Amino acid sequence: MMDWHIIVILVVSGIIVGIVNTLAGGGSIVTVTMFTALGLPITVANGTNRIAVFLQNLTSTITFIRKGMFNLRHGFLLSIPVIIGNIAGSLVATTIDEKVFKICFGVILVIILLYLIFDNRIKIKEGHNIEIRPWHYLWFLLIGFYGGYIYVGIGYLILAITLWSMKMDIVTANAIKGFVIFIATPFSLAVFMINGQIDYLFGIPHGIGNIIGSLFASHYAVHWGKGFIKAFTLIIVLICFADLIGLVSLHDIFYSMMTVCL
C-alpha cells in the first residue's frame, strides 16, 4: 500500500504538470524526474508518464472541442502521421544521443522564443482556417516518432510547427497540440503496457492530478486571453532553456524537493 504523502505528492505535482502542459509544455520533465526520484527505473518512468499524458490531453481536448477552438478535421489529419510515428518510436530500442537531443531541443526552444517575441508582426490564422501543406505531415510524422520513445518536449515541437510554419495563434496551437497528443498517446501507451513498463500505482494518482490541472487550464484559457498564455508560455520556455544550457538544473531541484518531502 502506497503511503498517503506519496499519493499527495503525485496528485499535487500532477495538477502542476497538467496546467503547464495544457498552456505550454515541458511538464513531463517534472513527471519523469519525480518518478525516478521516487524509485522507478527510467524506462518505467517513461512508460508510466503516458498515463498522465493521455488523461491530461483527453481532458483539455474535450474542453477545447466544446468551446469550438479548432477544426476537428484538421486535428484528425495531423494526428494520422503522429500515430504512425508514435508506434514506430515506441518500438525503437536504441536511445537518442544526449548531445544531439540537447542541440535539437535548444533549436526548437529558440524558434518558439523568437516567435513569441515577434509574432505581433506575423499574420495569424485562426484555428478554422489552417492550411495543411505536404511537409507538415512529414514534420508531424517525425514528431510522432520522437514522442513515441521519449515524449519529453513533444509539446514544444508541435508548438514550433503550428506557430512558426502554420501561423496559428497560441490558443489554437495549444488546442491542436492537446488533440494530436491525445489521439496518438494510446498507441505508445499500449506498447509500454505490453512490455510491462507501466506502474499503475504511480500513474493513476498522478494522472488524476493532471486531469484537474488540465481542466482548470483549458477551461480558463479563453478567459485569460492570448496575451496571458503567450506570457506563460514564454516563461516556461525560458526556464526550460535555462535548464538546457546549465543555468539551472530542474532535475536537481525536483529531486531535492522529493527528498525533503519523503
pLDDT for residue 93 is more than 60: no
pLDDT digits (tens, 9 = 90+) for 57-90: 999 899 888 888 888 899 999 999 999 999 888 8
Question: Where exactly are the structural domains of the chain?
Answer: 4-261
When pLDDT is cut at 50, 70 and 90, the band that residue 127 belongs to is low
pLDDT for residue 102 is more than 50: yes
Give residue 124's pLDDT.
47
When pLDDT is cut at 50, 70 and 90, the band that residue 262 belongs to is low
Q: Please indicate, yes or no, whether the overall pTM of this predicted structure exceeds 0.75.
A: yes
Highest-confidence segment of 102-116, 150-164, 183-197, 211-225: 183-197
Q: Helical H runs in the chain? A: 4-23, 28-37, 42-66, 72-91, 98-118, 134-149, 154-159, 170-194, 200-244, 250-261
* Percent of the chain scoring above 90 in pLDDT: 27
Give residue 122's pLDDT.
47
pLDDT digits (tens, 9 = 90+) for 198-253: 999 999 999 999 999 999 888 776 677 667 777 877 887 788 788 778 888 877 77
pLDDT for residue 30 is more than 50: yes
Give residue 94's pLDDT.
45
Cell 499527495 belongs to which residue? 8
106 CB-contact burial (10 Å; exposed 0-12 / middle 13-18 / buried 19+): middle
142 CB-contact burial (10 Å; exposed 0-12 / middle 13-18 / buried 19+): middle
Distances (CA, A) of 214 to 19, 51, 226: 5, 14, 17
